[in-house]
Amino acid sequence: MPNPSHTVAVIGAGPAGLMAADIISRAGVPVAVYDAMPSVGRKFLLAGIGGMNITHSEALPAFIDRYAPAQDWVADWLADFSPSQLREWIHAQGIETFVGSSGRVFPTDMKAAPLLRSWLSRLRQQGVQLHPRSRWLGWHADGSLRIAQSDTELSIQPSACVLALGGASWARLGSDGQWQSLLAARGVALSPLQAANSGFTCVWSEHLRSQFGGAQLKPLAVHYRDEHGQPHSLQGECVLTEHGIEGSLIYAISRLLRETINCDGQVTIGLDLLPQRTQADIQQRLSKPRGKQSLGKFLRAQLKLDAAKVALLHELSSAEQRQDPATLAALLKHLPLTLTGLRPLDEAISTAGGVQRAALTDDLMLQALPGTFCAGEMLDWEAPTGGYLLTACFASGVRVGNGVLRYLQR
């Protein structure tokens, strides 16, 4: 039975913080949730605008591999709350889900708001107090928490505290990374926050920037090398931007690209503009007489290459290379693109880095601050888009919620 004198403060009302509050309050422990934003779950709601991709249906071993190099750590959390258990939990909120053609899992209505409304209603029924417009400022000398509310500052001293403050992307929604200095001052080991699932910069001509910024490239495959130098290919789609390139295909390999740029200052990948065709087939079609057709019209007629891909081909090759059918066919299957950097951290979908694993117990309690737990994106892990980010945030919240209860029992 819970001790009636115990109370828990949760700082941050995203999926990880709310899940920790859910687990703790279900056990009968009073929980107060504080969030700096005017309403809770703002980043969660924005992530669901284009369709709430809540998790993925692939087999668990492949699912866990997505979290490399922190896969064994995240696997511990998923042992507490797996992707299938997440779906069951959503169904218990009265929200049905379906599996899309890509294996991604969505609520039937594709929206985040109904799930959040149902969840918040249940949390209130469990006695959870929600305090928006309440920014955590750190600690007083006596260890109590400083909470700024409008024109006043609260001083609270809960039995345990959960920090679920997010990374440092989308600062306008509350994840501003300001917690780093507060934890560093307390001796907590941190890895620098970096952009994850981010766009990359390229050197584009003014023509490509102005005429094709925002153009989709699909279908497309990318050729790249992993950290061991082994070649790989991946098919999907991405978007040309004024500054470079972004999209799900790029996000899937963003960690490898970022780490290479960190080491070498740039990275070159190969773009397969025609993944549905073989190089031999392309060369055969390009060997046909062109007559008076421009190269662009010829490529559209023979290979159905759209204007954005034609422009990209011109951008990344020479006129001499485009004259020879064999050379041109090879370029269409492996067009070199050099990425020179990442877009700013606040533009990224998520962040890598944060509180290091060595700074935490298995229950995600800070070694340096007994009774203070960390959950969600502020921990040092990352994942590609596709439901992996949300699933691990939920699972870390479950791990922390149970960890808090074990701590209070001790």
Q: Would you give per-residue pLDDT tens digits along the chain (410 residues)? A: 556 679 999 999 999 999 999 999 999 999 999 999 999 998 888 776 667 899 999 999 999 999 999 999 999 999 999 999 999 999 999 999 999 988 999 999 888 999 999 999 999 999 999 999 999 999 999 999 999 998 899 999 999 999 999 999 888 888 889 999 999 999 999 999 999 999 999 999 999 999 999 999 999 999 999 888 899 999 999 999 999 999 999 999 999 999 999 999 999 999 999 999 999 999 999 999 988 889 999 999 999 999 999 999 999 999 999 999 999 999 999 999 999 999 999 999 999 999 999 999 999 999 999 999 999 999 999 999 999 999 999 999 999 999 999 999 98
pTM of the entire structure? 0.91
pLDDT at 4: 63
Sort 370 into a burial class: Cβ within 10 Å, 0-12 / 13-18 / 19+.
Answer: exposed
pLDDT at 75: 98
DSSP code of residue 9: E
Which pair of tokens denotes residue 391? 């699933």
Tell me the helices (H) and strands (E) count for the chain, helix number first. Answer: 16, 20
Which pair of tokens denotes residue 291? 């007559």
User: In the block, which residue shows the tokens 């687990």?
Assistant: 23
Q: Among 75, 70, 159, which Cα is nearest to 358's?
A: 70
DSSP code of residue 144: P
pLDDT at 99: 95
pLDDT at 49: 67
Chain-centroid distance, C-alpha 239: 17
pLDDT at 159: 97
Residues 6+ apart with CB under 8 A from 71: 64, 65
pLDDT at 52: 87
Q: CA-to-CA distance for 201 and 273, rounded, in angstroms?
A: 19
Other CB atoms within 10 A of residue 209 CB: 15
pLDDT at 146: 97
